[in-house]
Chains A and B, each alone.
Chain A
C-alpha cells in the first residue's frame, strides 16, 4: 500500500524556519518525481515545488522561490521541504504528493506572531 506521511508542521513566527518531512513506503521512492502542494484553510490547492526522481532537478512556485528548498533522501525514502523566511501567507496545510497521483494526509504550518 502506498503511504506518504508528512511531519514537521508547527506554529512559527514570521521570518522563522521549518523543515517538513514526508516518509514514504509501499512503492519504489527513487522511481518517482515528488511534489509539495499547499492549501490555505478553506481555500484551493497551490503547487509549491517538485523534484525529479534522483534529486538533480527542482522547480518552485514564484511565491516560494529563494525561500523554500525541496530535497530528497532516496536511501531513507524521505522527501523534505526546508522553509526559510516564512511569511504569514505561507500558513497552510502542506501535502506531499507522488507524481500527481497519491497524497499524504498533510501537515499544518501556521505562521503568526
Chain B
C-alpha cells in the first residue's frame, strides 16, 4: 500500500500569509496526486488535481507542484475563507489513500 505523509498536521497563520503544505508518498504516484479542502460539516472540495492543475473556479492563490513522491500545496496569500482542513490523495493504485490532513487555523 502507498503510505501518505502529510505535514504539518496543523498550522496557525494570519491573513495574507503564504502557506505551504507538504505531502510525501512512500512510492511514486507520478502525478496522480490531488488536493482537497474541507470545511466543518461539508464534503471535501477539489482544489488541485494531477498535482498541479486548478479546476475551474478555484482561486489562483492556490497552486500545486511536485511529481513522483514529493508534492506541495501553496496558498500564496491566505484569505478568511481558506481556514479549513486540507488533504492530499493518491489515485495511482489501489488501495487509494489520503494524507492525514492539515488544519489551517488563525
Contacts and interface: CB of A to CB of B under 8 A. Distances in A.
B49 A44 contact: no
Contacts, number: 46
B43 A46 contact: no
Contacts of B95: 47, 59-62
Interface string B52-84: 000100000000000000000000000000000
Interface size on A, as a range, is 10 to 19
A100 B44 contact: no
Nearest to A4: B43
B91 interface: yes
A96 B3 CA distance: 23
* Most chain B beta-carbon neighbours within 10 Å: one of A46, A59, A100: A100
Question: Interface residue tally of chain B, by bracket?
Answer: 20 to 34
B7 interface: no
A104 B98 contact: no
Nearest to A105: B43
Interface string B27-67: 00000001010000011111001000001000000000000
B94 A45 contact: no
Interface in B3-26: none
Given A100-B34, A100-B89, A101-B55, A45 B46 contact: no
**5 closest residue pairs by CB, A with B:** A59-B94, A47-B96, A103-B43, A45-B98, A100-B91
14 contacts: A37-B98, A44-B99, A44-B100, A44-B101, A45-B89, A46-B98, A47-B98, A62-B95, A95-B43, A95-B44, A100-B46, A100-B91, A102-B46, A106-B43
Interface of A: 35, 37, 44-47, 50, 59-62, 95, 100-106
Interface of B: 34, 36, 42-46, 49, 55, 87, 89, 91, 94-101
